[in-house]
Amino acid sequence: MGQNSRLLSRSPVTAPAQAKPPTFSTDEFRASLGMFATGVTIVTARSPSGALIGLTANSFNSVSLDPPLVLWSLARSAASMAAFSAGSHYAINILSSSQKDLAERFASKNVDRWAQVAYTEGVGGAPLLDGAAACFECFNRSRYNEGDHVIFVGEVERCTHTPGASPLLFHGGRFYTEHPL
């Protein structure tokens, strides 16, 4: 037996019944999270009334190849929570480096996010943004309430990407159109 086999055969360690209270502030937590560079997405859908909805998110991650699953999260307090929770489909648009202005617009409040935005209709009516580096068209498979957010797991029904596209990045509270050195 190799070393890995011995490790797998040991009894699992019992986890504590409850996490200890944090020893850091919300600002310290946010600053630490900001050290993880991410891509930038705009998650889009249609409300039950047919209105376009969308928001900038960097809480995107792959979950599974078989079946193809991805996840993202949304604050429970978000105005679009009801529409995303009730809808059957949404799209996750991974932004290209040329879409920084779009990321900022969809992260803003009290603006017409959809003014002069070019898109095509995807599965279930979810808008697919022109110029995106990649798009994932998802069935709204499941949702999990965790803390002040809801984690959405989408089953990918279609995906596309633009070969050679450079992604928009987010790190330390700033957008980058090329890798920060």
Q: Is this structure's pTM higher than 0.75?
A: yes
Per-residue confidence band for 10, with pLDDT thresholds at 50, 70 and 90: low
For the cut 50, the answer to whether the pLDDT of residue 124 exceeds it is: yes
Residue 88's contacts (CB-CB under 8 Å, 6 or more residues apart) are 124, 139, 140
Tokens describing residue 67: 């079946």
Q: Which residue has the tokens 């200890």?
A: 20
- Measured distance CA(89)–CA(121) in Å, rounded: 12
Convert the pLDDT of each residue in 47-104 to its tens digit: 989 999 999 999 999 999 999 999 999 999 999 999 999 999 999 999 999 999 999 9
CA-based nearest residue to 153, from 49, 59, 37: 59
Q: End-to-end distance of the chain based on CA atoms, in angstroms?
A: 44
Residues in the chain, total: 181
**Which fold does the domain 23-176 belong to in CATH?**
Pnp Oxidase; Chain A (2.30.110)
Q: How does DSSP assign 80-99, residue by residue?
A: THHHHHH-SEEEEEEPBGGG
Specify the DSSP element, H or E, that contains 29: helix 26-33
Query: Which of 32-36, 77-81, 87-91, 109-113 is the least confident region?
Result: 32-36
Residue-level pLDDT at 12: 65
User: Measuring CA to CA, which residue among 42, 5, 36 is closest to residue 134?
Assistant: 42
User: What is the domain partition of the chain in residue ranges?
Assistant: 23-176
At 176, give phi and psi (nearest 5°): -130, 135
pLDDT band at 9 (very low <50, low <70, confident <90, very high): low
Cis? peptide before 16, omega within 30° of 0 = no
- SS3 assignment, position 161: strand
Which residues on adjacent β-strands are paired with residue 45? Answer: 53
pLDDT at 28 over 60: yes
pLDDT at 30: 87
pLDDT at 1: 47
Neighbour tally for 181: CB within 10 Å: 3
